[in-house]
Amino acid sequence: MCIALEHLFDYDDFRKFLQDYFEEQKKMRSVFSHRFFAAKAGFSSSSYCLNVIRGRFNLTPKSIEKISKAMEFEPLQKTYFEVLVQYNQAQQVAEREHAWNQIVQIRKQIEFTHVTTREQGYFEKWYYPIVRELAVSSDWDGDYRVLARSVVPQITTDEARDAVKKLLEWGLLKKEGERYVETSQMLDASEIPPMALRRIRHEYMQHAMGAVESMPKDERFAAFTTLAMSEKSYNYAVKVLEDARKKIIARAANDSEVERVYEMMLVAFPMSKKIGKEAENEK
């Protein structure tokens, strides 16, 4: 494991990160050099990264993309590196402040636990994530019947007891005295194969439909909008929704007065085939 890469989120200066990364790689692999990395990343100049580290060059979007691929960044690492470059290279105060706010939000997300394929069981039952949050946040005093009745829709006492048992076995919950605590603040399913998540997603969709039809409006939120737009506008909408999701996650992570467990879904999908010139070209 590359230590610099592992601690990427601790860096405030991308040039310092690159310097540490290169120095560490040279110690780990005798073949590694600026020329070696430049060839791997696709840079025409073998000294390009060295000049960046020394502050002679700035990184461009294309060079950021090349470095990200060469270092095999995970999605969140890539996003953080991009924002870090924006923060360090910003010319305007407003740009620098905006980038820093993004850095803070991303750092709050790194407490996510990436569930491995060995722990796919966590996503086999829709109520496992709900029970995990309730076990920590609600006053159920070890009474599994109370815990089961706190879930909406209600599950059985045996299901609640089995869920807590498995969460402890998976290391997603731990017991401290009479209290249960989470081993990490949030969970991420990025490493779980899509097929393994199909069932739980389908069940959450069904619960969402039930909530829209039966719950009072002040207890749930639902907005349905039909839009005609370009793929460029759609990509913009996706970015806005993802930014909003990250902000909400960051706020929830620091919420000390939990009152309920919520499931939040942001969905956008096509309801027609492509129209216009692009569609004609595909025929």
- Asked if residue 231 belongs to a domain, the reply is no
Collect contacts of 75-78 with beta carbons under 8 A, ≥24 apart: 75/190, 76/106, 76/109, 76/110, 77/5, 77/8, 77/9
- Asked if residue 103 belongs to a domain, the reply is yes
Q: Measured between alpha carbons, how far is 64 from 81 in angstroms, rounded to an integer?
A: 8
Q: Measured between alpha carbons, how far is 22 from 224 in angstroms, rounded to an integer?
A: 49
Query: Mind listing the pLDDT tens digit of every residue in the chain (283 residues)?
Result: 577 788 898 899 999 999 999 999 999 888 999 999 999 999 999 999 999 999 999 999 999 999 999 999 988 899 999 999 999 999 998 899 999 999 988 887 766 666 665 577 888 899 999 999 999 999 999 999 999 999 999 999 999 999 999 999 988 899 988 899 888 766 767 667 666 678 888 899 999 999 999 999 999 999 999 999 999 999 999 999 999 988 898 888 878 889 999 999 988 989 888 886 555 554 4
- Asked if residue 221 belongs to a domain, the reply is no
Count of CB atoms within 10 A of residue 42's CB? 13
Counted domains in the chain = 1
- Asked if residue 66 belongs to a domain, the reply is yes
Q: Measured between alpha carbons, how far is 46 from 39 in angstroms, rounded to an integer?
A: 7
Report the predicted TM-score, pTM, of the whole model to 2 decimal places.
0.60
CATH number of the domain where residue 26 is located = 1.10.260
Domain hosting 77: range is 3-108
- Asked if residue 280 belongs to a domain, the reply is no
- Asked if residue 83 belongs to a domain, the reply is yes
Q: Measured between alpha carbons, how far is 37 from 69 in angstroms, rounded to an integer?
A: 11
Closest CA to 185 of 252, 237, 236: 252
- Asked if residue 85 belongs to a domain, the reply is yes
- Asked if residue 90 belongs to a domain, the reply is yes
